[in-house]
């Protein structure tokens, strides 16, 4: 939730910024195992995105906080996640709008923007809360240990 302390992510960079935001969205999880979640319903998602880097831009920013909000909030607020066919779909579990997949998609969207910046910041963590009792943390650099 906004103003809570988020889990620490290790990284080698000098600067780290965090942007909190919330967005309202509807979704369903198109799996026969999803129970009630297979029916369309809505959440107010709380997201915290962690951006890190060694260099600042011409404004003295790692990246403008408002840009991070626009990239996520303007795209998904008051929308149906399943309707964003460039990110989500019924065709494979990696494209179902689960908390895990939404967190990864947010990170990928922001990283695509950051890749165009001269100072090359990195999105190192996305914390995404779907309900008061359920959240996911996505870290793009992690993983592969059990493959």
Ligand X SMILES: Nc1nc2c(c(=O)[nH]1)N=C([C@H](O)[C@H](O)COP(=O)(O)OP(=O)(O)OP(=O)(O)O)CN2
Q: Is 130 a catalytic residue?
A: yes
Beta carbon nearer to ligand X, 29 or 106: 29
Tokens at 102, concatenated: 């939404």
Task: Return phi, psi of residue 82, to 5°.
Answer: -60, -20
Tell the burial category of 53 from Cβ atoms under 10 Å away from its Cβ (0-12, 13-18, 19+).
buried
Using Cβ positions, the residue closest to Zn ion within the complex turns out to be 37
Give all strands (DSSP E) within 28-121, no chain letters.
41-53, 79-80
Beta carbon nearer to Zn ion, 83 or 141: 83
Shortest Cβ 131–ligand X spacing (Å):
4
Q: Is 37 a catalytic residue?
A: yes
Shortest Cβ 52–ligand X spacing (Å):
26
Beta carbon nearer to Zn ion, 44 or 112: 44
* Dist CA 113 CA 120 (whole Å): 10
Q: Is 58 a catalytic residue?
A: no
Instruction: List residues binding Zn ion (CB under 5 A).
Output: 37
Would you name the residues annotated as active-site residues? 37, 78, 130
């Amino acid at each position: 939730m906004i103003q809570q302390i988020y889990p620490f992510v290790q990284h080698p960079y000098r600067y780290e910024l965090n942007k909190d935001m919330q967005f309202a969205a509807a979704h369903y999880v198109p799996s026969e195992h999803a129970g009630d979640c297979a029916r369309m319903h809505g959440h107010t998602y709380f997201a915290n995105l962690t951006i890190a880097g060694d260099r600042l831009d011409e404004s003295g920013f790692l990246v403008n906080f408002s840009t991070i909000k626009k990239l996520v909030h303007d795209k998904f607020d008051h929308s149906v996640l399943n309707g964003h066919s460039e990110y989500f779909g019924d065709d494979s579990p990696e494209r179902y709008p689960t908390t895990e997949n939404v967190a990864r998609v947010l990170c990928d969207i922001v990283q695509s923007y950051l890749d165009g910046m001269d100072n090359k910041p990195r999105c190192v963590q996305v914390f995404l809360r779907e309900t008061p009792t359920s959240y996911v943390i996505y870290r793009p650099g992690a993983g592969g240990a059990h493959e």
